[in-house]
Chains A and B, each alone.
Chain A
Amino acid sequence: MDNSQLLKGILQACIVSVISEGETYGYLIIQELSKYGFDHIKDGTLYPILTRLQKKKLIKSRIGDSSLGPKRKYFSITEEGLEYLSNFKIEFDNIVSTTKKILDKKGE
């Protein structure tokens, strides 16, 4: 089964969710997602998704100073992002519960 589209949507929502916890930056997002098993994000896949999310206005960015010296790009969530996240959670829960019902029935 080609589940790349499904994974893409889930990954996108996970990134928005990480950002919704507070202003953050690329490296921290990668670390946070890696902790939960999204290890492949290390190869830079995160950045095109961040750009896409910005275009959709779900997140916004600013360039600020970092504790290490040079500039750093910070990301934070927007109103639209919060709305998207809450809608995604409802849809995702529906999909999971429906799928579970079907799978459990098959297994009986």
Chain B
Amino acid sequence: MDDKKKSYLDGEYLEAYNKAERYVKLYSNYRETINGNDCLIEIQDVLLIAQQDEKPINEVIGDDFNKFIRNVYRAYYPFSLVNYVYTTHTFSLFIALVMVLIFSVIKSPNEDAFTYSNVYFVSVMSTLFGDLIKWIVVKLANKVDFIFNFITKRLVTTMLNNFSMLLFIILVPNVFVTFAIETLVVVLIFILTSTIGIVYTIRMNNAHHDKVGIGTFKEALFKNMDNKYEKKNRKLVEKNKNPLTHLGWAELLEKHYKIYDVVTSLVIILYLGLTSYVIYLQVEDGFSVGGVFLLIFLVLITVFLMSYYTSKKTINEYIKSKREFDAKK
């Protein structure tokens, strides 16, 4: 959240808000597409009203502020095992992709050991190991004030997360195979820089949303769709045609998304087919450079499917709101 928003709060209320913000940043996962704004809007609002009414914080949110933050946080980010497995799988594919790309370029004395399953296993385990380390650090951070105050940036926890992963990537394969040190250094630098890149992109995106007054993913999507609606109508007017009503726009979107659903189903079939083919390649031919491109494709498809299903729900809400808009009129 930017300084302009924070400036509404003062003293103990600002301190409480900062604590909530740290909590959200520590816990939220950069592998998730959501950001902490929805949750923080709610906490900030409660604190602002308390400040305006000059009420002590405990009178408004009870005696246990930590419990309050935890409850609000869990309301917005309920733990979903399916989502966790899905995001872990995608992220692991990304790491596996990087590892495979590098191993395919740099020859190793033990390249027979670089099977897809080995590389994928190492990347999944490294992701889980990174999460475990992060979980322990956050637990400690909440218990010990010094650490909690020290770790105020999401980037720091992310870095800890990444370093744990890298440690795993370096240590585990070395137990089985001796990698050339150059290989490990290149893997390390590549993964580190790319993950920092991802984190910064998310941060820049959130900062941009704050700047233009978009608090949530839903708001951003609604605004984007409204812009498209206006653009569409402008074009229709230019062609001397009647502009679309809200209902007309909703129906047009429904028609479009039905086509997308068919395309997505085909993509899922392709995804399953490719996965089977990669497994087949792995079993038949062992590690091959050609398989790298299939792996790239798998990562792209996984990311596409994930973002499609995340946004589909919100798009349906948008369509419903447009239908209701005309009905209310």
A-B contact count (CB 8 A): 74
In the bound assembly, the distance between CA atoms of A27 and B5 in angstroms comes to: 18
Q: How far is the CA of A48 from the CA of B70 in the complex (A)?
A: 10
A40 cross-chain contacts in B, Cβ below 8 A: 62
- Interface-located stretch among B41-49, B173-181, B277-285: B41-49
Indicate whether A66 reaches chain B with its CB closer than 8 angstroms: yes
In the complex, chain A residues 55-71 whose Cβ is within 8 Å of any chain B Cβ: 63, 66, 68-71
Bound together, the chains give a CA A47 to CA B43 distance in angstroms of 10
Q: Is the interface of B mostly helix, strand, loop or mixed?
A: helix
Question: Judging by beta carbons under 8 Å apart, are B75 and A63 in contact?
Answer: no
Q: Is the CB of B41 within 8 A of A27?
A: no
> Closest residue of chain A to B46, judged by CB?
A27
- Which residues from 236 to 266 on chain B have a C-beta closer than 8 Å to any C-beta of chain A? none
Say yes or no: A63 contacts B219, CB within 8 Å.
yes
- Rounded to whole Å, the gap between the CB of A8 and the closest CB of chain B is 14
| Interface flag for B298 (CB, 8 Å) | no
> Is B52 an interface residue, CB under 8 A from the partner?
yes
| CB atoms of B38 and A73 under 8 A apart | yes
* B109 interface residue (CB < 8 Å to A): no
Establish whether residues A44 and B60, one from each chain, have CB atoms under 8 Å apart when the complex forms: no
Query: Quick one: which of A45, A48, A70 contacts B48, CB cutoff 8 A?
Result: A70
Indicate if B72 sits at the interface (CB-CB under 8 A).
yes
Given contacts A44-B61, A51-B75, A63-B219, contact A70 B45 (CB under 8 A): yes
- CB-based contact A51/B76 at 8 Å: yes
B216 near A63: Cβ-Cβ < 8 Å: yes
Residue numbers in A under 8 Å from B112 (CB-CB): none
- A30: B residues at CB distance < 8 A: 46, 60
Cα-based distance from A30 to B46 in the complex (angstroms): 10
**Which A residues between 25 and 52 are near B, CB-CB below 8 angstroms?**
25-27, 30, 40, 42-45, 47-48, 50-51
Whether A25 contacts B45 by the Cβ 8 Å rule is yes
Give B35-64 as 1s and 0s: 1 = Cβ < 8 Å from A's Cβ atoms: 000100110111011001000000011101
Question: Taking the complex as formed, is B208 at the interface, i.e. its CB lies under 8 A from any CB of chain A?
Answer: no
Question: How close is B206's CB to chain A, nearest CB, in angstroms?
Answer: 14
On chain A, the residues within 8 Å of B62 by CB distance are 40, 42-44
Are B60 and A72 in contact, with the CB atoms below 8 A? no
A51 pairs with B78, CB closer than 8 A: yes
Is B312 in the interface zone, CB < 8 Å from A? no
Given A43-B67, A44-B61, A44-B69: A72 and B45 interface contact (C-beta under 8 Å): yes
Contact of B71 among A27, A45, A66, A71 (CB under 8 A): A45
Given contacts A63-B216, A73-B41, contact A48 B60 (CB under 8 A): no
Q: Is B41 touching A70 in the complex (CB atoms < 8 A)?
A: yes
Q: Which residues of A contact B (CB under 8 A)?
A: 25-27, 30, 40, 42-45, 47-48, 50-51, 63, 66, 68-73
Identify the 5 closest CB pairs spanning chains A and B, nearest first: A44-B71, A47-B75, A42-B62, A44-B68, A43-B62
New contact pairs (11) apart from A47-B75, A66-B45, CB-CB < 8 Å: A43-B61, A43-B67, A43-B68, A44-B67, A44-B72, A44-B75, A45-B71, A47-B72, A48-B75, A68-B48, A70-B41
**Chain B interface residues (CB < 8 Å from chain A):** 5, 8, 38, 41-42, 44-46, 48-49, 52, 60-62, 64, 67-72, 74-76, 78, 213, 215-216, 218-219
